[in-house]
Amino acid sequence: MKTKAAPSPTLPKRISLVTQTAQSLRDALRAGHWQEHLPGERELCARLQVSRITLRAALDELQRAGLLEVAPGQRRSIKVKPARSGAGAHSRVIALISPEPLLALAPVSMFLADELRKNLARAGFNLELHVSAACYSAHPARALDDLVARSSAAAWVVFGSREPMQNWFIRYQLPCLVAGSCALGTGLPSMDFDYRATCRHAGGWLRSKGHRHIALILPEGAYGGDMDSEQGFREALAGDGATTLLVLRHDGTAAHLCALLDKALRRAHPPTACIVARAMHVLTVMMHLMQRGLRIPRDMAVLSRDDENFLQHAIPSVARYAASPTQYARRLSLAARKLAETGALRPRAIRIMPELIAGESV
């Protein structure tokens, strides 16, 4: 007599991006995120960071479920009533604010946003992207008021940010995590690379190489990590009257950066070494110096404070500080998830120390 075979276990289902997108929209509809009609497809694609094909498939799913209604030539009408009132209450949405679209950011920032989305999705959260340069201005209150009024996010993650933006989140006691550094004394949790320790090490290393006139090249603006970089460098040179530090702050354009370099090279004691923030600006510095006939590192040493994959292809190889973006994204995701679940984190600064990759440019 044959024994009946035991039933096979149910195979686990892989959650598709369409399903995640539909769930994110469903949560937003039940939270009362929009009134009467959905926004246009372009806005939804930008906010959810999905393609139009994925978005339309998710919208079709919600339409079949009776949550949306579409009339020919008209916007999508919302047919579900909000399940609750109060922005952020029990929401499974975490909002990410960026000053620029992801495609305009450095590659590592794009990677962090993508890893953050994937890590949070595994924990049942949806990441919602908001691009707003106005939130990073000297007077961000109006832009932030409007943004928070339109969102049901349980927590906010901000790329970079400046002191006025940080103070606004503190004033309204909204759960916020800074992916970057906060201004000194600002009571928000933050996570960043340890730029202060990095530049303190860089200053000592360049001094040990015999450099006595050093330039620190930073973008304009009061971002916490850049302020920490200058502080660390000055600590490395404290008490050394023979070594001078020249801080060059540029507006982000190649033309302005090159003009500042030319002016520095005309000084009575021009720099013989420079440390550059932002990997994209390292290439501008190196190419401009070589165009001026300077040899790297014989005439000018170049050290990058940051790392990007494209620096591996530069000749001469670039000396730089590197840390694992995967580790950073994992820790940032855990902190964001905890903030969304509990509504609060201790206002402490979590710092990850990069390691020096000694290339041929120093």
Residue 12: pLDDT band with limits 50, 70, 90: low
- 3-class DSSP state for residue 348? coil
Q: Is residue 219 part of a domain?
A: yes
- pLDDT of 31 over the 70 cut: no
What is the mean pLDDT of the segment spanning 172-188? 85
Give the pLDDT confidence of 90-131 residue by residue, as tens digits. 678 999 999 988 888 888 888 888 999 999 998 889 899 999
SS3 38: coil
Taking a C-beta distance cutoff of 8 angstroms, is the pair 194, 225 a contact? no
Question: How does residue 52 score in pLDDT terms, banded at 50, 70 and 90?
Answer: confident
Residue after which a domain boundary falls, among 85, 103, 133:
85
Q: Evaluate whether 318 touches 361 at the Cβ level (below 8 Å).
A: yes
Residue 82 backbone zone (phi > 0: left; psi -120 to 50: alpha; other: beta):
beta
> How many C-beta atoms lie closer than 10 Å to residue 40's C-beta?
11
- Degrees to nearest 5, angle at CA 81 with 76 and 83: 130
Q: Classify residue 55: in a domain, yes or no.
A: yes
Q: What are phi and psi of 17, to 5 degrees?
A: -65, -30
In a domain, 315, yes or no: yes
Q: Domain end: 85, 119, 136, which one?
A: 85
273 inside domain: yes
Contacts from 293-298 at CB under 8 Å and sequence distance 24+?
294/265, 296/361, 297/360, 297/361, 297/362
Q: Which two tokens stand for residue 276?
A: 């550059």
Q: Cβ contacts of residue 278 below 8 Å, gap of 6+?
A: 106, 219, 305, 306
What is the rounded CA–CA span in Å between residue 285 and residue 27?
Answer: 47
CB 212 within 8 A of CB 243: yes
152 belongs to a structural domain:
no
Last residue of a domain, one of 85, 117, 142: 85
| Residues 68-85: tens digit of each pLDDT | 887 766 778 887 665 444
**Omega prior to 297 cis, within 30 of 0:** yes
CATH for 272: 3.40.50.2300
The share of the chain scoring above pLDDT 70, in percent, equals 91
| Count of domains observed in the chain | 2
Task: Give 276-303 pLDDT, tens digit per residue.
Answer: 999 999 999 999 999 999 999 999 999 9
State the CATH number of the domain containing residue 42: 1.10.10.10
Of 8-12, 346-350, 356-360, least confident by mean pLDDT is 8-12
SS3 351: strand
Quick check: is 125 in a domain? no
- Check residue 5 and give its pLDDT: 53
Measure Cα distances from 202 to 100, 220, 223, 280, 358 in Å. 30, 21, 20, 19, 11
Residue 253: burial class (beta carbons within 10 Å; 0-12, 13-18, 19+): exposed
Write out the residue range of the structural domain in which residue 245 sits: 195-322
Within a domain: 32: yes
